[in-house]
Amino acid sequence: MKKTFKIVYSALFFLICAAPLALMPFFKTDAKLEKRELTPMPAFMEKGRLNINFSEQFEKWFNDRLPFRANLLTYANAVKGEFFHESTSNVIVGKDGWLFFDEESDEYMDTNAFTEDQVKAFAVTLSLLQEDVTSHGGNFVFVCMPNKASVYGEYMPVWYTKAPENNLTRVTSAMEEYGISFVDMKKILTERKDEGLYHRRDSHWNYKGALIGYNAIMDALGRKHDTYSNIEPVYEKTWRGDLDKLLYPAGGVMDYQYTYDISMKPFRFTRPAGIKDTKQGLELMMSDKEQGDDMIITQSMAIRDGSDLYMVRDSFGRAFLPYCINSYQTAQFRRTDRPDVTSVHEGTDYVYEIVERNLGRVIAKAPFMYAPVRDGSVIPSDLKDGGKITPVISVEGYGLKIYGDLPEDTDTGDGRVYIKLSGNGQEMVIEAFPIYEAELLEGEGTKGYSATLSKDLGLKGEYSVNVVTGQTSFDGGSAII
């Protein structure tokens, strides 16, 4: 009997251990749910050699796809969050049932402070975008959506200490100095915070906050618009917050949402293609599922004034959809971290929206814009020699791309960077974005330059390259274009 018991016990033990592996093909893991990239399946060989980290990488891959993972996380987080008030699963458990995205803590405590040069690079980047848009008869406005903790910081745990300033306050001052058209959304929302403008269980604002933001943006653009002030919203528990999903993936607490019953003017979706029922399509995009919203283009059948809206946006900007669709003949909403101005029509209203916790993305990757040609007088006459650098110059289908890094001790002056090309009987000065292309350079620098040159400039032949910033000129050698 004892031997039989041991055999049955051992068999059950191995069956339980093997169950997750056996059940894995029948379970799906939603990477979007955890707001992170799941660990990819590791390879046995890497660069022609045995992958000595295979076992460790496989364990991470397996753990990310463990059956019943959502249920296990839900139970574990319920104990840690509700009983011990510990932050977990990228979620900060605050006071009175409020949840915050853990990435907000950097701005809240100012542990990711921009350098002075990064602040200047931020302002210069926006000034170049604004210059390009307005030079084509359009209007430009930059909008930073404040983190929830920036507006409702009183619900953050006491062990998070709010800093007197952070990157948003720094770039706000710089934008004023550089003449950038922007909406101070933090000020606007803070003044009306008692109206309850953010979700408790979500990292975003609710649709009441979004309507306030929409009206502020339209005012900044000078666009005549319906304020929808005559509509009384319905306040119901219909929203499943993204932070609640992170904390309780198998099912959690519903949140309240404001619903505005606005009358939509006739329109159609040109992107995504194939949406026949516009009402149903818009409701899906405005739901808490965040589906199919990376590129949205609409065409109004009721508005015929030639008006165009181009909005570079993140997840906060999705809440603007119905209001903007009702205000423009054509409206484009691009969810991207690389703004594009080359495809924007003349006279377009251009809105660049980004949430506070992602401000660093503005200077992480250069926008797609043809570099402006400058008069040679922008380069100071009393330059000092900064030595040699090695620009990366690549011929692309759309033109020429020049980018590279600068020594970290470089004094960038006002933050502007110029590239001087001399050769083939001509001399040309263009202004580059003061951006270190970390993804392309595969480095960790903070000072760099990036410019895209149009084919229309007619550059061909061998040119000497000089990069100038502040009072310093760097010798970039020569290049055959």
Among the candidates 363, 396, 424, a domain finishes at 363
- The answer to whether residues 308 and 343 touch, using CB atoms and an 8 Å cutoff, is no
What is the pLDDT, as a whole number, of residue 248?
82
In the structure encoding, which two tokens stand for residue 435, read together?
A: 């951006």
What is the pLDDT, as a whole number, of residue 50?
67
Among the candidates 363, 394, 427, a domain finishes at 363
Residue 186's Cβ-side half-sphere holds a number of Cα atoms within 13 Å equal to 20
The candidate with the shortest Cα–Cα distance to 270, out of 326, 216, 214, 331, is: 331
Other beta carbons less than 10 A from residue 65's beta carbon = 16
What is the pLDDT, as a whole number, of residue 23?
47
Distance CA 406, CA 51 (A): 35
Residue type, 284: L
The stretches in the chain having pLDDT less than 70 are 1-39, 41-89, 250-251, 290-292
Is the backbone of residue 397 left (phi > 0), alpha (psi -120 to 50) or beta? alpha
Q: Are residues 85 and 97 in the same domain?
A: no
- Domain ranges, residue 69: 24-91
- Express each pLDDT in 309-324 by its tens digit: 999 999 999 999 999 9
- Express each pLDDT in 102-149 by its tens digit: 999 999 999 999 999 999 999 999 999 999 999 999 999 999 999 999
Among the candidates 91, 108, 139, a domain finishes at 91
Q: Are residues 426 and 464 in the same domain?
A: yes
What is the pLDDT, as a whole number, of residue 29?
53
What is the pLDDT, as a whole number, of residue 385?
95
Q: Are residues 405 and 316 in the same domain?
A: no
- Dihedrals phi, psi of 413, to nearest 5 degrees: 60, -120
163 within some domain = yes
